[in-house]
């Protein structure tokens, strides 16, 4: 009886935490989006905005990817709350990491001789890709076992 009560209390605690995190992430994503819109509009109307300039392109798409990463992180929190186990799927975490690396690759200035950074990011991306493949393969096997 006691264990059931503690489990229920902890379950409600998890629900409250997920709701607070979701609210906070929504606030952060909204603020980031508004800031991004304001910066782009300011650049278009008040500066010599040239989207073909690689530095401007990198800056704008780096900011866009930041918002996308935050959205994906918020989505992973919501998916976690809907799952019975309450565990974050490893695939989602890996994908968020891959998005972060792609963002870094976009904003990386290759003209400044950052070959070590490029190599490190490439190795990290390949490693995450391999782990993603392994996890996906394991998920498929688990699903096949559940069907049988």
pLDDT band for position 86 (cuts 50, 70, 90): very low
Say what the pLDDT of residue 80 is.
67
pLDDT band for position 87 (cuts 50, 70, 90): very low
Total structural domains within the chain: 1
Say what the pLDDT of residue 36 is.
93
61 against 111, higher pLDDT: 61
Average pLDDT, the chain: 83
Say what the pLDDT of residue 77 is.
77
Domain that includes residue 82, residue range:
2-147
What Rg do the C-alpha atoms of the chain give, in angstroms? 20
Q: pLDDT for 94-121, tens place per residue?
A: 888 998 898 888 888 777 777 888 899 9
Its pTM surpasses 0.85: no
14 against 3, higher pLDDT: 14
- Structure tokens of 73? 């992180």
**Mean pLDDT of all residues in 34-56:** 88
- Over 70: is that where the pLDDT of 18 sits? yes
């Amino acid at each position: 009886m006691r264990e059931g009560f503690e489990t229920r209390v902890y379950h409600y605690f998890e629900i409250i935490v997920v709701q607070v995190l979701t609210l906070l992430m929504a606030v952060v994503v909204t603020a980031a989006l508004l800031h991004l819109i304001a910066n782009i509009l300011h650049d278009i109307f008040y500066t010599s905005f040239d989207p073909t300039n690689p530095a401007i392109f990198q800056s704008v798409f780096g900011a866009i990817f930041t918002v996308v990463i935050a959205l994906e992180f918020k989505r992973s929190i919501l998916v976690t709350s809907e799952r019975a186990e309450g565990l974050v799927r490893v695939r989602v975490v890996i994908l968020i990491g891959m998005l972060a690396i792609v963002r870094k690759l976009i904003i990386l200035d290759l003209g400044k001789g950052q070959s070590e950074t490029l190599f490190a990011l490439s190795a990290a991306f390949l490693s995450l890709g391999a782990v993603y493949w392994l996890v996906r393969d394991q998920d498929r096997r688990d699903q096949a076992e559940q069907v049988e």
